[in-house]
Amino acid sequence: MSRTNSLKIVFLTFVILLLTPARTAAWGNRGHQIIARIAMTRLSSGARETIAQLLEPGETLESISTWADGIKTQRAETRSWHYVAIPLTDNRYSRAKDCKREETCIIDAITQQISILKDDTRDAKERAEALKFLVHLVGDLHQPFHVTTNTNPQDLAGSWVRVTSLSGGATNLANIWDNDLVDYGLKQSARSVTDYTNQLNKKFRSSNNQNSPGTYISTQGSITDWALATHNLAWDAYYHSNGEFMVADRNRSWKLDQAYYDKNVPSVEAQMVRAGVRLAKILNDVFTSKAKY
C-alpha cells in the first residue's frame, strides 16, 4: 500500500470517529461529584471507616466518582456497564431484549460490584475498584438517557438528537442532560459547588417523617426499580418547550431556550439527590448488613 493511500485511510478513519457520536458520560464530572458529596454526608461511621481503608490516602468518594469514565478506553469491556438501552415506549426491563448477550449492562454491573464489595475474601484492590465503579454507575443509573433510547427513529440514547444549547453551542440532547442542565442549575443558585450541594441536601429528604423538611426521596426498591423510574423521566426530556417531540433527524436541529432549562433543572436536581441518597444506602448496607439488591 502506498504512503498516500495509507494517509487517506487514516484520515477517513479519523473523520468517521469524529462524526460518530459516542455514548455520553452521564452527568459529566460536576454532576458525579455532587452525587458523591451528597452520599458522603449520609454515610454511617462504619461505612466511612471501611471506605477509608479501601481507598488510597487522600482519595474520597468525590475524587473517585469519575474514575470509571477515565478507564473506558483501556478496558473496552466496561463501556456497556454505563447504560442499558430500554426503549422509550417500554415500561419493563428485559435483560434478554435490552442488553446484548455479550455485554454486561448497568443493572447487572451495579449488582456485580455490590457482590464484590460484600465479599471480604476478595483482594482489597479488587474491592476498591468495585467501589469506584459503584460510585459512578449509581450516578449513571439516575440519568434518563443512560437507561433510555428512542427506537422510532433510533437516536442512540439521545445522542443523535441535534440541539443548540442555551449558550449557542451545537450539541446533542444527551449532552444537555449530562452537563448543561447541571451547570445551569449551579449558576442559577449563585452558590459554590459545596453550598449548592448543601442546598440540594436540605431541599430533599430520605426520611418519610412528615415533620422533616424537603421533598421525600425513596430509597426503597431494587436497582431495576430505580432504573425504570429514571427511564420514565425521559418522556419529558424529549419535549421541547414549544411542545415538539425532539427526534433524531439529520436535517433538523432544535434550539433550546431558557424555558426548557427551567422546566428540567428541578428533575436533574432531584435525580442527583436520589443517586446520592441511594448510593449512601447501598454503601451503608453493604458495610453493615449484607443487604440484597
Kindly state whether residue 129 falls inside one of the protein's structural domains.
yes
Residue 64 forms part of a structural domain: yes
6 in any annotated domain: no
Q: Other C-beta atoms within 10 Å of 189: how many?
A: 15
Find the Cα–Cα–Cα–Cα dihedral 25, 144, 81, 31, rounded to 10°: 40
Cα–Cα–Cα angle for 105, 95, 268, rounded to 5 degrees? 55
Domain interval for residue 278: 24-286
Q: pLDDT band for 119, please (50, 70, 90 cuts).
A: very high
Looking at every residue in the chain, the average pLDDT score rounds to 89
Residues 158-205 pLDDT 10s = 999 999 999 999 999 999 999 999 999 999 999 999 999 999 988 886
Least confident range of 22-36, 66-80, 114-128: 22-36
Is 92 inside any structural domain?
yes
Q: What is the pTM for the complete model shown?
A: 0.88
Residue 173 maps to a domain: yes
Number of structural domains found in the chain: 1
Grid cell in block for residue 154 = 433510533
2 within domain boundaries = no
Question: Cell numbers of 90, please?
Answer: 417500554
Domain assignment present for 5: no
CA–CA separation, 36 and 221 (whole Å):
21
CATH number of 255's domain: 1.10.575.10
